[in-house]
Structure 1
Amino acid sequence: MPYVLLALAIAAEVAATLSLRASENFSRLGPSLIVAAGYLISFVLLAKVLTRLNVGPVYAIWSALGTVGAFVGGALLFGEQARPATVIGAAIVIAGVIVMNLGGGVHQ
């Protein structure tokens, strides 16, 4: 169950981050509300996950997949360029999380 909550926390964080761009400096109400709700939901769920799993690897997963999700979402929704270097960077971020989990894992 903590992994489902972690996935939902990541999804909420990515939605909030993408809505931050769509809010146009908080001048658009709908995206601005999604920013506030998304970050609140994300942190509440992340706090719940951290009662069951180790903080270092969980935060690494949350931040890395959030980063990659925002990168992919930016490319799909806003036409941001996905250059080879940025794709390689995203792969390195994911590889780092895998290595971190191999070194100790997320279970308490």
Structure 2
Amino acid sequence: MQHWFFLSGAIALEVIGTTFMKLSAGLTKPLFIALMLLFYVASFLVLTLALRKIEVGVAYAVWSGAGTALIAAIGILYFQEAITTFKLIGIGLIILGVIGINLGGSQ
């Protein structure tokens, strides 16, 4: 069960890193660039710990899918990005895809 906590942590770190990428204003703000790199490196390190017990296809699908959905939500809620029907459908499809891959993975 601990490996799923590692995966959750990796997702959170990646989402924070991506948020700092946006805040770096096109890589023009050194503090946000440094924080982005720090959180991305930490995310990959923690993801590696999750891969000890979770299949790489399942782990990566969950990591990237959850990260994408969370970043889309942050974009809408925090950065005032437009919310459209197509975005909501896309996020829903991502979530369904991650569930499908997770259900299809062997234990």
Per the shorter chain, which TM-score range? over 0.9
Q: Which amino acid aligns with 1:70?
A: I
TM-score, reference length from structure 1: 0.92
Residue 40 of structure 1 corresponds to 41
* Cα-Cα RMSD: 1.1
Query: Runs of 4 or more off by more than 4 Å in structure 1?
Result: none
Superposed CA offset, 1:21-58 (max 9, x none): 11012221222122101100100001111011111011
Q: Is 1:55–2:42 an aligned residue pair?
A: no
Q: Which amino acid aligns with 2:48?
A: A
Number of residues paired by the alignment? 106
Please list every run of 5 or more consecutive structure 2 residues that lacks an aligned counterpart in the other structure.
none
Give the fraction of aligned pairs with identical amino acids, expressed as a percent.
33
* Contact 2:55 2:105 (C-alpha < 8 Å) held by counterparts: no
Residue 30 of structure 1 corresponds to 31
Distance in 2 (alpha carbons) for counterparts of 1:14 and 1:82: 19
Please list every run of 5 or more consecutive structure 1 residues that lacks an aligned counterpart in the other structure.
none
* Contact 2:21 2:36 (C-alpha < 8 Å) held by counterparts: yes
